[in-house]
Amino acid sequence: MSSPVRVRFAPSPTGYLHIGGARTALFNWLYARHHGGTFVLRIEDTDTARNTQAAVEVIFQGLRWLGLDWDEGPESADADGPSRGDRGPYFQSRRGDLYRRRLQELRDRGLAYDRDGAVYFRMTREPITIPDRIVGDVLRPLTDREEQDPDWVLWRSDGQPVFHFVNVVDDLEMGITHVIRGDDHLTNTAKHIALFRAFGVPAPEYGHLPLILNEDGSKMSKRDRGAVVTGYQDEGFLPEAVVNYLSLLGWSPADGQELLRTPEIITRFGLDRINRSPARFDVKKLTALHFEHTRRMDPDAYVSLGVEYLRRAGIETGGHDPAYVRAALLTSQEKGKLFSELPLWTDFFFAEDAALVLDSEARAKTLVPAARPLIERLAAAFAAVPEFSAATLEAALKQLATELGIKAGALVQPCRLACTGRLVGPSLYHLLEVLGRDRVAARLSRAAALAVA
């Protein structure tokens, strides 16, 4: 039996969580969860000028939103705050002693030396083969420059260790068994392997993920729309859908199923089914997955998330009966819209009858004088219904349409506008049932009065 899996995500706190970084985190997390291993979060905050506590918070927030919990790592964005795990500190800025000790170790072995005020690593002169679980074995010959001088800097003359060095020391000290990271690190891995050898320990297993590209195939950078995780939260995507979509970028399950909940992804995930080519990010497909997940999600979870997004839009539901709020939001669950669109679909439930805003364009088109008698007849028909339910309302409306010799739509549209203020929205009869007899009556009568020249 092989040793327990230990993987890590080591972001630099730059003030946002990049979608590519989130995918890297996800794949590491999935690998850990699939193998019952440990997922470590390590903060690479060596750039003290840029890396603020708030920037660390953004990373935490993004990971938590996606549901990527870490077994070891910081519990606070404060580098001196509490953490979980016995391989800390988990902030690079607090690991200086470790780096200095390891540097001394290399010096003692004659593998590090001073030059121009910096400390250099005595790099192997041989080409290195990088064993990669995703790409396969990659032979990395020395570059032209390295032919001249293969040695490279471990510790800068300004007193700061370089990335390659701290990265390896951290992975070594933290007992990382598998390094799953972006393709951009592939060729640098030769340096890392050489360092592990210098320390006399086996290198971890590597797996380099193909990068995520923009929809047009260009490289995705922080400025691009869709590059930042918080953007998806703001737009109201379901995090489970984002996880599902991200998991499908570069990976696919053996049976080809695409709609997957996180536990199913964990079960099926494996490095052997990751492909090597970069993938473009397709918001349409993400949206489609969002739709599927949303309409299948637990209604209570849907309602509480919906309430949160309504609050963001300035609609407070607290003053209403919880059962009413729940019923109101659930009229829209089957629509699977983004949560940021939810206010457009449900705000009328929470408006005062007399204050309901009617879309002016729709009103001009629909609340014409000829509509007034129709609305009045409909109001009368609804008033006569013994039980105010979707089924009885539908029957009453359709019967009236038959009596008047008109299509149901001719009654539906004015009714929808009167009760919701718009011509699009949830299923009419259900929405009416939830609104209730009194509100519907009030709104129809108000609309009838407005339907004049």
Partner RNA sequence: GGCGCGUUCGUCUAUCGGCUAGGACACGGCCCUCUCAAGGCUGAAAGACGGGUUCAAUUCCCGUACGCGCUACCA
Q: Which residues are catalytic?
A: 222
For residue 150, state whether it binds RNA (rule: CB under 7 A): no
Tokens standing for residue 138: 């990659």
**What is the C-alpha to C-alpha distance for residues 415 and 2, in angstroms, rounded to an integer?**
67
Task: Report the residue number, 214 or 445, with the smaller CB distance to RNA.
Answer: 214
Amino acid at 387: E
Residues 63-92 that bind RNA (CB under 7 A): none
Task: Report the residue number, 18 or 178, with the smaller CB distance to RNA.
Answer: 18
Residues with Cβ within 8 Å of 369's Cβ and at least 6 positions away in sequence, in order, are 451, 452, 453
Contact region with RNA (CB under 7 A), list: 168-176, 223-231, 275-283, 353-361? 275-283
Task: Report the residue number, 117 or 322, with the smaller CB distance to RNA.
Answer: 117
For residue 116, state whether it binds RNA (rule: CB under 7 A): yes
Helix (H, G, I), strand (E, B) or coil at 38: strand
Query: CB of residue 276 vs RNA: minimum separation in angstroms?
Result: 3
Taking alpha carbons only, the member of 359, 352, 345 closest to residue 425 is 345
Judging by DSSP bridges, how do beta strands 178-182 and 205-209 pair with one another? parallel
For residue 109, state whether it binds RNA (rule: CB under 7 A): no
**What is the C-alpha to C-alpha distance for residues 16 and 58, in angstroms, rounded to an integer?**
6
**What is the C-alpha to C-alpha distance for residues 402 and 423, in angstroms, rounded to an integer?**
22
For residue 285, state whether it binds RNA (rule: CB under 7 A): yes
Residues 303-332 that bind RNA (CB under 7 A): none
**Binding track, positions 11-40, relative to RNA; x by CB under 7 A:** -x----------------------------
For residue 276, state whether it binds RNA (rule: CB under 7 A): yes
Instruction: Please tell me whether the peptide bond between 89 and the residue prior to it is cis, using omega within 30 degrees of 0.
Output: yes
For residue 52, state whether it binds RNA (rule: CB under 7 A): no
Task: Report the residue number, 125 or 311, with the smaller CB distance to RNA.
Answer: 125
Contact region with RNA (CB under 7 A), list: 68-76, 136-144, 232-240, 369-377? 136-144
Amino acid at 248: L
**What is the C-alpha to C-alpha distance for residues 191 and 163, in angstroms, rounded to an integer?**
11
Residues that bind RNA (rule: CB under 7 A) add up to a total of: 76
**What is the C-alpha to C-alpha distance for residues 152 and 260, in angstroms, rounded to an integer?**
45
Task: Report the residue number, 254 or 453, with the smaller CB distance to RNA.
Answer: 254
**Binding track, positions 175-214, relative to RNA; x by CB under 7 A:** --------xxxxxx---------------------xx-x-
Residues with Cβ within 8 Å of 157's Cβ and at least 6 positions away in sequence, in order, are 116, 117, 118
For residue 361, state whether it binds RNA (rule: CB under 7 A): no
Helix (H, G, I), strand (E, B) or coil at 241: helix
For residue 291, state whether it binds RNA (rule: CB under 7 A): yes
Query: CB of residue 319 vs RNA: minimum separation in angstroms?
Result: 26
Tokens standing for residue 212: 């995520």
Query: CB of residue 260 vs RNA: minimum separation in angstroms?
Result: 11
- Residue whose token pair is 């364009």: 361
For residue 270, state whether it binds RNA (rule: CB under 7 A): no
Identify the bridge partners of residue 40 per DSSP, sorted by sequence position.
8, 72
Contact region with RNA (CB under 7 A), list: 104-112, 138-146, 300-308, 444-452? 138-146
For residue 392, state whether it binds RNA (rule: CB under 7 A): no
